[in-house]
Structure 1
Amino acid sequence: MKKSEPRPGGKPATKPDINAGAAREAVDDARLLLASRLRLRHLNCFVAIAQERTLARAAARLHLSQPAVSKTLVELEAWAGARLVERGRNGAALTAQGEHFLRYALDATRAVEASAAALARHDAHAAPALRLGALPTVATALLPSALLRFKAQRPHVGVKIQTDSNSELLRALKGGDLDLMVGRMAEPAMMQGVSFEYLYTESLLVVVRAGHPLALESAEPSLDAVLAFPLVIAGERTAPRHHTEAFFETHGLAVPEGAIETQSASVARLIVARSDAVWIVPQRVAQSDIDTGLLVRIGVPAPRGVEPIGILRRSTVALSEATGALAQQLRECAQEA
């Protein structure tokens, strides 16, 4: 057998890696085969499951039977060679592989929706409404100023605001139901595919109405004196509530029984303004009422610098020009406050 001739540099010619080439061809063939089988209905079904978090609600949304949705999901998982959704009594939760696939499924379905809208739209310059999520405390503190400035620049762009818990807003953001969110960071597993841009750090205050007995005292009231009055605090499983409970624990106390618990800043504000109730509240929520004299801050030490707030967005999706403009107004208002 004739040996291969050495190359001009004196080194023998290397033989091509036939096995590596065959492996690449096999992968390419599998990808092409999967692309030929994958249909928009598969993507729509998966996105609906991710957003609705139960197969039954996803089926109702798609006007399909639950077995049909389950069959479509089984097909996807068979092609992926991995479980994409964990089914249980509490609903359907995406696995890590499911979270990864959701990013691409959302991009594809949104592109189709945008193409359909472009074909059907009579006014080519009409802009879809922006979908903004915000924590209740942020909605009353930061959003009004930012939205007024944004509307002054873009009066024809609508904004749909959703207020909810941080975990629910984050699910909506990752599921493609929100374009932007103002809230807190979550545990690393929940932040997959989401970026966080710091805006400010929240603190808590203890406030009462103007003319309240505690506000008329010249000396700083004790915590016992404060607890002699009805207390208004944030609801359970919220960050302000967690820090309030920690505040009491540092003084060897528990949250008093009979406290009024609410996530509504407007309800809390009216209760405090019309009674002798004491409100433990994030500073930015109460600041405008303090500035106008409706509420008065009392000098009881409360947790400071406890709550980083920021802009959250899907890291794989570029912001539209209008959404970017709204984000800029949020940044500027946060800095000025």
Structure 2
Amino acid sequence: MQSTFRSRVRLRHLHCFVAVAQTQHLGQAGEQLGLSQPAVSKTLTELEALLGARLLERKRSGTDLTELGQRFLRHALRVLEDLDEAADSIGGPGAAGRRQIRLGALPSVVPDLLQEAVLAFRATHPEIGLAVQTGMNRTLIDWLKADMLDLAIGRMDNPAVMEGLWFEMLSAEPLLLAVRKGHALAAAPPSLADVMAFPLVVPAQGSAPRHSAESLLARHGFVLPTGVLETSDAYLGQLTALKSEAVWLAPRCAMRQALEDGELVLLPISGQGSEEPVGLLRQGGRELDEAAEAFVHDLRERATARSRGPAPKARG
């Protein structure tokens, strides 16, 4: 089987497979490659026949990689990257094209660590492009595995999902509760029962902070009421809290800047035990270029400085 695969596999098989893995859709992959959907399907069938294994699960809504498909993707990407590097080495330094770091991030880190690091990097490396995409943690992991990102600021997941990835912790972010200035709950130290009488803005369903939020409430004998606003978008959470009577329950990184600016008031309700590690995700065994390493170094330093600094104080 191995000798047959080596002698008959072609680059078109790898390009087609990688395109489908990245788009998770046969039709979109075909548009990207300039092929019809039947041609994409035929090429994938040929590749699976050569390997003697299923690489993809085909569904009406798109495709998912099998466990073997995820493993094969890492090798396919490496082959195509090696070919690109070989072409660049022959063409000379000017053949490498525009330099860019592809970065993914959880929406909650955008107003805090990410925006500061991006602004600083733009000042010191104006010649390096930054392409930033936000998404839920599983989405970031999928993008990393499909080589659509170089780095991501996200969270740990279960071992099966994290296969082939490295995680480096930057900080542990607890959940906080905040309201606008002048809110009734800001006048005197409230209880959690007082908070539950107001509309809530909580992390999105399926996210790690959402699980922590439900656990935090459960420890005090509460469950999430109906009618809550669910979002992982820090900007929407902040705007809702500023322009309504809602209480915003979110990781510290999502609201730190608004607290420091005095736009929001932190409620003195402990989020102890709700801490979720946030850190850098990257493909295991893959070296970053000099510019990406510089960006990572800056992120580490900023995260360390944040961990040593004082936490936002509750204000009435």
Normalising by structure 1, report the TM-score: 0.83
For structure 1, the 5+ residue unaligned runs are 1-26
Please tell me the residue identity of whatever aligns with 2:234.
Answer: A
Corresponding position: 1:199 with 2:195: no
Report the more deviating stretch, 100-109 or 253-262: 253-262
Trace 1:311-326 onto structure 2 (pairs within 5 A).
311-326=280-295
| CA positional deviation for 1:279 | 0.8
Trace 1:100-249 onto structure 2 (pairs within 5 A).
100-113=71-84, 123=94, 127-217=98-188, 220-249=189-218
Deviation sequence 1:185-219 (CA, Å, 0-9, x none):
122222111111111111001111222222121xx
Q: Aligned residues: percent identity?
A: 44
| CA positional deviation for 1:126 | 6.0
Please tell me the residue identity of whatever aligns with 1:263.
Answer: S
- The count of residues paired between Structure 1 and Structure 2 equals 306
Deviation sequence 1:206-250 (CA, Å, 0-9, x none):
111222222121xx3112211222221122222222211222222
Mapped contact 1:51–1:172 kept (Cα < 8 A): yes
Report the more deviating stretch, 301-310 or 181-190: 301-310
Name the CA shift for 1:124/1:76 in 2 (closer, same or farther; >3 Å). closer
Deviation sequence 1:241-267 (CA, Å, 0-9, x none):
221122222233221222222222112
Name the CA shift for 1:310/1:122 in 2 (closer, same or farther; >3 Å). closer
Task: Please state whether the residue corresponding to 2:103 is helix, strand or coil.
Answer: strand
Name the CA shift for 1:134/1:124 in 2 (closer, same or farther; >3 Å). same
**Matching residue of 2:13:** 42
Match of 1:331 among 294, 300, 307: 300
Please tell me the residue identity of whatever aligns with 1:291.
Answer: E
Task: Please state whether the residue corresponding to 2:161 is helix, strand or coil.
Answer: helix
Report the more deviating stretch, 134-143 or 104-113: 104-113
Q: What CA distance in whole angstroms lies between the structure 1 residues aligned with 2:230 and 2:5?
A: 52
For structure 2, the 5+ residue unaligned runs are 307-316
Please tell me the residue identity of whatever aligns with 1:333.
Answer: R
Task: Please state whether the residue corresponding to 1:192 is helix, strand or coil.
Answer: coil
Please tell me the residue identity of whatever aligns with 1:276.
Answer: E
Deviation sequence 1:267-322 (CA, Å, 0-9, x none):
22122123322111111221222222211111123344521111111113211111
Mapped contact 1:84–1:94 kept (Cα < 8 A): yes
Normalising by structure 2, report the TM-score: 0.88
**Matching residue of 1:253:** 222
Q: What CA distance in whole angstroms lies between the structure 2 residues aligned with 1:178 and 1:314?
A: 9
Q: What CA distance in whole angstroms lies between the structure 2 residues aligned with 1:329 and 1:122?
A: 26
Task: Please state whether the residue corresponding to 1:190 is helix, strand or coil.
Answer: coil
Q: What CA distance in whole angstroms lies between the structure 1 residues aligned with 2:191 and 2:157?
A: 35
Mapped contact 1:138–1:285 kept (Cα < 8 A): yes
**Matching residue of 1:12:** none
Mapped contact 2:150–2:282 kept (Cα < 8 A): yes
**Matching residue of 1:20:** none
Q: What CA distance in whole angstroms lies between the structure 1 residues aligned with 2:64 and 2:115?
A: 34
Please tell me the residue identity of whatever aligns with 1:132.
Answer: L
| CA positional deviation for 1:154 | 0.9
Mapped contact 1:243–1:303 kept (Cα < 8 A): no
Mapped contact 2:172–2:275 kept (Cα < 8 A): yes
Q: RMSD in angstroms over aligned alpha carbons?
A: 2.3
| CA positional deviation for 1:132 | 0.1
**Matching residue of 2:38:** 67
Q: What CA distance in whole angstroms lies between the structure 1 residues aligned with 2:249 and 2:182?
A: 18
**Higher Rg:** 1
